[in-house]
Structure 1
Amino acid sequence: MDTDLKKELDVLVTLRKILSGVVREITPDPGMKHPLSEGTIEDVRQGFMLIAAREKEISEALGKPSLHRPMYKGDTPKTNVVKLHGLSDKKDKD
């Protein structure tokens, strides 16, 4: 059964990547009219949510945390990268 779940997860990940690629390519620059209707845009969002929910279910069933989350243009990342100036990986030479 784990093999079937793994295959399903692989299919979902691939579909999500394809769908997100299409969305990125057709998303217009700010201020321009979107080629898709509001209904279609909402359907795509719902599709992403269904894919993400099923990915999470399968990942939990396989004992793995889900790291795949869809990001939409304009979404704010939930994490921030902070650069620490003055720190170095190299040891100081005396």
Structure 2
Amino acid sequence: MSVAHWGVIGILALAAFSIRILGLIAGGRIRGSRHAWVLDDLPGLIVVSLVAASLAGQPLQTWVAAGAALGAAVLTNHVIATMVVGVVAFAGLAAFGL
């Protein structure tokens, strides 16, 4: 490997380390501020945004299965049951050609 390759690797390693350090510093400052409640809700907000982004542009069958999974999540508060209901709903809709 050339010196340029090692330089790029070093810069990327420094950037990755800096991002982590800045995250720790920012998290510490947020934890001490009046916006600390955001950190408590952040994991759920990330999951919801990932699910919403993955549903965008999907057919009705996927939306119905996601709705069934949401209903299971609300009723059972159990991750495995939610996944099973979502997969069974999707498979059932696919089997009937809906």
* TM bin (shorter chain): 0.3 to 0.5
The answer to which structure has the higher helix fraction is 2
Larger Rg: 2
Using structure 2 for the length normalisation, give the TM-score: 0.34
* Greater relative contact order (Cα < 8 A, sep 6+): 1
Using structure 1 for the length normalisation, give the TM-score: 0.35
